Amino acid sequence: MKLVDIIKRTLVSRVILSFTIVFSFFGVIVGIGHAMHTDTEISGEWKEILLLLLGALIGAFGKVVDHWFKDSDKDKQLIEEISKKNEEE
Instruction: State the angle between helix axes of 73-88 and 2-37 in degrees (0 to 180), rounded to the nearest 10.
Output: 150
The structure's pTM equals 0.67
Alpha carbon 47 to its chain centroid, in Å, reads: 24
The answer to whether the beta carbons of residues 18 and 62 sit under 8 Å apart is no
Q: How far apart are CA 78 and CA 27, in angstroms?
A: 35
3-state secondary structure of 62: helix
| Residue pLDDT, tens place only, 12-64 | 888 899 899 889 988 888 888 888 888 888 788 888 888 899 899 988 888 88
